Amino acid sequence: MLHRIAVAQAEGRAPSLVAAVVRGGETVWSGARTSVEGHAPDANVQYRIGSITKTFTAVLVLRLRDEGVLDLGDPLEKHLPGTGAGEATIAELLAHTGGLAAESPSPWWERTPGSLRPELADVLGERPHRHPIGRRFHYSNTGFTLLGALVEQLRGASWEDVLRREVLEPLGLRRTTWHSEAPHAGGWAVHPWADVMLPERVEDLGRMGPAGQLWSTAADLARFAVFLAKGDDRVLSAESVLEMRTPAAPGEAADMSDGSAYGLGMQLQHRDGRFLVGHSGSVPGFLASLTLSVEDDVAAVVLVNCTSGPVASEVAADLVRIVAEAEPRIPEPWRPLPEVDRSLLELVGHWYWGTYSFVLRLVADGGLSLEPLSATLRRARFRVNDDGSWTGLNGYFAGELLRVVRRPDGTVSHLDLGSFVFTRQPYEEGAPVPGGVDPEGWRGIS
């Protein structure tokens, strides 16, 4: 890992680079490289984190949803009227499918003071949209500015104050702030063709702050990564952070070869055979990445203080890969269930949808898992509902209802999964198979 960040700092010509790796809910490694001998930063030194700020904004919006203050399907106009961009839903803004422009009108907002854009109308300009709403993914900083304004409108306080009260303080992120606080790194531009540097301007982004303002440290972002993997009921449940990590919009067509997508305020990518989630960030003078593999229980944070240099997201992904390959996650020991509803045992085993064969299993968390015996078919996990039905959690059957249909004597007749009938035998005689079953049954060629 030290070799990987050393190569990144040297070949990327970065004034400094600090990184941390998280496993098992805590930081297990950190390292740094610097151009100043004897003065390497540690995990407590602040860097600007750019668009990782968007993930914090998304957390605030999901909190409002979980409290019932809004629905992700609500148009923005319902809660924040008069923007001129209010037809887009809150979910579309979170997933960058609201059709809004990527940037605010000139001058470049990241290198000019936010006082030049005091109102949302100044951020959006006369032509806020670039694409039809909901039709395509188009990364939009202005969209997250609107989400920040939405938080302020519904909470009656500044985005900064709401973030500190509802997220930073509960999670113990004491070194994540709107303005830099010592010790912090300075932002630099490195000349592309000469080994000389130029200090970059650091601006208060004002209205654009919810899209890219924050400063943080490797240690704080490591703690934030743990939250994004497991949730924290003081902030967001595990179910809600899973929703953030679930694809909500595809990447650009040119990027689809790497399996990239976007969730709700989180970037998603398939790389080196693993599913990575998190976010990258860049503002003049700084590059940042928080990258997480939930399956491997490994996260990495990389912070750099130059405008262009090492690709922080690639370095972070490599740190995750190095740990996952060199020290594979050791599974927990198998243990039998502490208790089981005996009525569930009659559901497990082989089921057939037409002539396709599946196995239904009772899994450790008390849910059900439908597993095809052919690798090309659909699989799903289910959680039980209060009425005895089951809701699909993933894949094709996500959100679909699985119902157990019983005969008058109480025995199980079949399963109904979103209108698909599963029987104990392929096209079982007497079962309510849609379209019926030929009364002559199975036969050979005569």
* Residue range 398-426: mean pLDDT, rounded: 93
**Are 194 and 242 part of one and the same domain?**
yes
Model confidence, pTM: 0.89
**pLDDT tens digits, residue range 123-134?**
999 899 999 999
Is 297 part of any domain? yes
Tokens in use for 221?
Answer: 């972002």
Is 334 part of any domain? no
3-state secondary structure of 182: coil
Nearest Cα residue to 217 out of 278, 277, 174 = 174
CB atoms within 10 A of CB 436: 9
Answer whether residue 36 shows pLDDT above 70: yes
Nearest Cα residue to 171 out of 299, 60, 245, 65 = 60
Quote the DSSP letter at residue 118.
-
| Coarse DSSP helix, strand, coil percentages of the chain, rounded to the nearest 5 percent | 30, 25, 45
Mean pLDDT of the chain: 93
Question: What pLDDT does 251 receive?
Answer: 62
Ranking 103-112, 247-256, 330-339, 414-423 by mean pLDDT, the lowest is 247-256
Alpha helices in 253-407 (DSSP H): 312-326, 342-345
**pLDDT tens digits, residue range 63-100?**
999 999 999 999 999 999 999 999 999 999 999 999 99
**CA–CA separation, 186 vs 305, rounded Å?**
7
Question: Which percentage of the chain shows pLDDT scores above 90?
Answer: 83
Tokens in use for 295?
Answer: 């399956």
- Write down which residue in 298, 326, 354 finishes a domain: 326
Alpha helices in 253-385 (DSSP H): 312-326, 342-345
Question: How many domains in the chain?
Answer: 2
- Reported confidence tier of residue 55, pLDDT bands at 50, 70, 90: very high
Cβ pair 300, 20 in contact under 8 A: yes
Answer whether residue 162 shows pLDDT above 90: yes
- Write down which residue in 293, 326, 359 finishes a domain: 326
Domain that holds residue 360: 342-422
**pLDDT tens digits, residue range 4-32?**
999 999 999 999 999 999 999 999 999 99
**Are 261 and 193 part of one and the same domain?**
yes
- Reported confidence tier of residue 252, pLDDT bands at 50, 70, 90: low
- Reported confidence tier of residue 155, pLDDT bands at 50, 70, 90: very high
Question: What pLDDT does 376 receive?
Answer: 75
- Write down which residue in 295, 326, 357 finishes a domain: 326
Ranking 178-182, 254-258, 283-287, 371-375 by mean pLDDT, the lowest is 254-258
Is 185 part of any domain? yes
Where b means 16+ CB within 10 Å and e means fewer, 250-285 reads bbeeeeeeeebbbbbbbbbbebeebbbbbbbbbbbb
Answer whether residue 222 shows pLDDT above 80: yes
Question: Which percentage of the chain shows pLDDT scores above 70?
Answer: 98
- Reported confidence tier of residue 249, pLDDT bands at 50, 70, 90: confident
* Residue range 376-397: mean pLDDT, rounded: 89
Residue 122 belongs to domain with CATH number: 3.40.710.10
Which residues lie closer than 8 Å to 166 by C-beta, 6 or more apart? 60, 63, 235
* Residue range 172-199: mean pLDDT, rounded: 97
Question: What pLDDT does 364 receive?
Answer: 78
Answer whether residue 254 shows pLDDT above 60: no
**Are 286 and 356 part of one and the same domain?**
no
**Are 253 and 372 part of one and the same domain?**
no
Question: What pLDDT does 113 receive?
Answer: 94
Question: What pLDDT does 256 receive?
Answer: 46
Question: What pLDDT does 258 receive?
Answer: 58
Is 432 part of any domain? no
3-state secondary structure of 128: coil
**CA–CA separation, 348 vs 299, rounded Å?**
36
Alpha helices in 16-69 (DSSP H): 52-66
Cβ pair 276, 291 in contact under 8 A: yes
Nearest Cα residue to 344 out of 365, 323, 370, 362 = 362
Answer whether residue 250 shows pLDDT above 90: no
